[in-house]
Amino acid sequence: MQTVIQVTPSQLQKMVTFYKQASTPRLPNGAIFAAKNNNASIIGYKSGKVLFQGLGFAQEAALWQTSTVSTAAKAIGKKSTTPGVNIPNDFSNWSVLGSDEVGAGAYFGPLTTAAVFVAKENISWVRQLGIADSKTLTDAKMRQIAPDIIAKLPHHVVNLMPEKYNILQKNNNVNQMKAISHNFALGKVLEKIAPTVPTGILIDQFAQESTYFKYLNNANQSNIVQQNVYFTTKGEQYHLSVAAASILARVVELDSLDKLSDEAGMRLPIGAGKAVDMVAAQLLQQGADLNHYAKLHFANTLKAEKLKR
């Protein structure tokens, strides 16, 4: 009653973390982890082979076989930032929970992260929305599509407005805040769809996989979502769930920026260029608190202060 599967180095490291609480002290020769739970005994070897033994060996192995990358051979020797290198060939037809974030490079407005679950039976419906290449859609088109996504698909949005963002940024770098936001949004959607379990989870990549989980561990995050998780840049090209998440995040960001603009009494531009410096300086001249409108650690803050003088 046993089976052996072959996994990639990144997947093996993911298993080390996953089975940490169930680990056993004695390691066979060549092993990097050994664990035992109610289903099986599991031993992972440096070679990438993982042995499952016990009454529930097949059930336990099945948890990881859907995550075993069919393109593993291609991945060897390639950078993990190569788009789609770790994504299985039929991934676009899976039931996937995807996440994406916007606003990290904009001085005014929030950092917004969204997660959306697209079950395989909803893929055709989502495709008909015309969101396959979400990065090319206009803001107006995304605002038209977003209500349909909200009404039809399980989702969650983490919207860090500037005041909250600035508090968190004192103890976290931007990528760590992204990781925390992605993990929280993903966890909330998993709660909403339970007991349904996605075949895969796809995060639009902003950091190496190992770095992403390091950020979460360093931030002492509980309930880290890590099973069947994939990472790739240009995630919207590999599953519509990321495209939907990108649209939802963008619309929430735009709505938040509209609200802040109304409060400021002037249009707050997107981005971090010279136009942003000028508007920030104007706000300062009017006695406004930039903490309410902007991400203060950007260089634009100092530039605006100089322009004000």
Is 258 a known ligand-binding residue?
Answer: no
Strand-pairing partners, residue 215, are: none
d(CA 17, CA 190): 20
* Cα of 252 vs its chain's centroid, Å: 16
CB 1 within 8 A of CB 15: no
Q: Count Cβ atoms below 10 Å from residue 196 Cβ, excluding itself.
A: 12
Instruction: Name the 3-class secondary structure at 73.
Output: helix
β-pairing verdict for 111-118 and 96-102: antiparallel
Instruction: Encode burial over 291-303: b for 16+ CB neighbours within 10 A, e otherwise.
Output: eebbbbebebbeb
What torsion do the CA atoms of 283, 288, 294, 300 make, to the nearest 10 degrees?
Answer: 50
Structure tokens at 276: 């942003």
| φ/ψ bin of 281: left (φ > 0), alpha (ψ from -120 to 50), beta (otherwise) | alpha
d(CA 269, CA 257): 9
Q: What DSSP assignment string belongs to 185-226?
A: HHHHHHHHHTT---SEEEEE-SS-HHHHHHHHHHTT-SS---
Is 101 a known ligand-binding residue?
Answer: yes
Binding residues: 100-101, 204
Binding residues for a divalent metal cation: 100-101, 204
